[in-house]
Amino acid sequence: MKTALIISLNFNPGHVSNLVASCRQCEELGYEAIYYIHPSFVGMLPSASRYIVHESSTRPKADLAVFLFPSIRNVLLIRSLKRDGTKVVYVFHEPLAPMGTYRDAGFSYFYLAKLWVANRVSAYTVKKSDSILLPSRRAVSMYESNALYRNPNYHYLPLMFDDERGSNFENVERKYFSYIGTVAADHSFGEYLRFVQWAVSGGHLSGLVFMIATKSDFDIPKELHNSDRVKILSGKPLSNEEINDCYASSFAVWNAYARTTQSGVLAKSFMFGTPVIVLRKNLSEFTQDGKDIVAIDDNRSFEEIEGAILRVLDDFDGFSKNARNRFLSTFYYRNYNNQFRQIIESI
């Protein structure tokens, strides 16, 4: 039997779903799939998973290696795999835009320097991989316009997820308008937080509760301390099950990011039939305003955000059904088994 390594050498709890989907896809295509991962992922994988932590000195020979996320550690590993004749596929989530885009989004100069380095590492990874998978039309456009990315063997393939909405999530009470994921400037966390402050201190949207679920630390505004309208889970990674519960218990999720190429938060929200609020400028092939999402023009307008929430609540069942259908038709990995097989066979 052929062997596939499913690789992520940097830890992010939100990436577990992508790892699992890729592993199951490779198994269904006839591979023995093994996770090759950062050690912090180990306790989050499904039971009976085969895995090797990347710090281990032992690594089996593999016919296929699927790199799901960027890491400077990928560079040496790709070199080693290629020497063994392994086919290398890189899922390139975020081709970089011009640096001015990130300055406008509020990134610090320190973070901009990190992005510059990351861009060079990504360019090397792209060059040495056999095939590049780009998960959105915007990612394809950014890839094609960046002169550093010189691998012509690239393909459009949306982010893939297994369906994790089991029966235990179907009857969870929905009561939150949530921010789920890493605190980041381009995710417009500050705009979300200021909206929550406005709603809580001014008594807006009475009866609704807000949730922030992030591994990041942040300064909690004093008016939100001990408020019964705010639930905060922060400062440590949540398990995949805990993350899923956050999506399942939300009636809407914040996705009104200043900048986005594609969004795992969008896909996981849709997995649980949870609509999202997005910036109109970020509308993509994965969303339809008034069907599965509500688009706003200004994520700093409290009134516009409030109106979007009320619009979701006015027809939650319709939005939820459409969001769930979008997940099944667009992000469920089995839709792409044949396409992925063809990509591998073309290498």
pLDDT of residue 223: 85
CA dist., res. 29 & res. 16, Å (int) = 20
The owner of tokens 């992925």 is 340
Region 32-60: what's the mean pLDDT?
90
| Domains 2-162+334-346 and 167-330 belong to one CATH topology | yes
CA dist., res. 231 & res. 326, Å (int) = 28
317 exposure class (CB count in 10 Å sphere: 0-12, 13-18, 19+): exposed
CA dist., res. 230 & res. 135, Å (int) = 34
CA dist., res. 286 & res. 139, Å (int) = 13
pLDDT of residue 105: 62
Q: Distance of CA 84 to CAs 4, 54, 216, Å?
A: 13, 17, 38
Region 176-192: what's the mean pLDDT?
92
Q: Establish how many alpha carbons lie within 13 A of residue 215's alpha carbon, considering only the half-sphere containing its beta carbon.
A: 13
Phi (first) and psi of residue 260, to 5 degrees: -155, 140
CA 317 to chain centre: 24
| Cα Dmax for the chain | 63
Class of domain 167-330: alpha beta
**57 pLDDT exceeds 70?**
no
Let me know: does 44 contact 16? Beta carbons within 8 Å: yes
In CATH, the number for domain 2-162+334-346 is: 3.40.50.2000
pLDDT of residue 38: 95
Confidence class of residue 248 from pLDDT cuts 50, 70 and 90? Answer: very high
CA dist., res. 146 & res. 95, Å (int) = 8
- Summarised one tens digit per residue, pLDDT across range 109-133 is 787 787 788 788 889 999 999 999 9
Region 312-331: what's the mean pLDDT?
97
Q: Which of 345, 347, 346, 337 is nearest to 157 (CA)?
A: 337
Region 64-74: what's the mean pLDDT?
93
Q: Which helix (H) or strand (E) holds 177?
A: strand 176-180
Confidence class of residue 159 from pLDDT cuts 50, 70 and 90? Answer: very high
- Identity of the highest mean pLDDT range in 19-33, 181-195, 221-235: 19-33
- Summarised one tens digit per residue, pLDDT across range 267-287 is 999 999 999 999 999 999 999
Q: At what angle do helices 264-271 and 240-248 cross, to 10 degrees?
A: 70
pLDDT of residue 167: 80
Strand, helix or coil for residue 289: strand
Domain coordinates in residue numbering, the chain: 2-162+334-346, 167-330
Beta-ladder partners of 178: 211, 253
Q: Which of 332, 286, 311 is nearest to 165 (CA)?
A: 332
b vs e for 186-219, b when ≥16 Cβ sit within 10 Å of the residue's Cβ?
bbbbbbbbbbbbbbbeeeebeebbbbbbbbeeee
